[in-house]
Chain A
Amino acid sequence: NAGVTQTPKFRVLKTGQSMTLLCAQDMNHEYMYWYRQDPGMGLRLIHYSVGEGTTAKGEVPDGYNVSRLKKQNFLLGLESAAPSQTSVYFCASSYRSGRGYEQYFGPGTRLTVT
Chain B
Amino acid sequence: AQKITQTQPGMFVQEKEAVTLDCTYDTSDQSYGLFWYKQPSSGEMIFLIYQGSYDEQNATEGRYSLNFQKARKSANLVISASQLGDSAMYFCAMREAEIFGNEKLTFGTGTRLTIIP
Contacts and interface: CB of A to CB of B under 8 A. Distances in A.
A97 B100 contact: yes
A18 to B, nearest CB: 25
B68 to A, nearest CB: 14
Contact of B105 (A40, A45, A97): A45
B101 A97 contact: yes
A100 B43 contact: no
A111 to B, nearest CB: 13
Contact of A97 (B44, B99, B107): B99
A43 interface: yes
A103 B47 contact: yes
Given A42-B91, A58-B104, A105-B45, A100 B109 contact: no
Interface in B23-50: 33, 35, 37, 43-47, 50
Contacts of A74: none
A104 interface: yes
Given A88-B43, A102-B35, A48 B103 contact: yes
B44 A100 contact: no
B47 A99 contact: no
Interface in A96-114: 97-108
Contacts of B37: 105
Contacts of A106: 44
A107 B44 contact: yes
Contact of B33 (A48, A92, A100): A100
Contacts of B100: 97-98
Interface of B: 4, 33, 35, 37, 43-47, 50, 52, 91, 93, 98-110
5 contacts: A33-B105, A48-B104, A97-B103, A100-B52, A105-B45
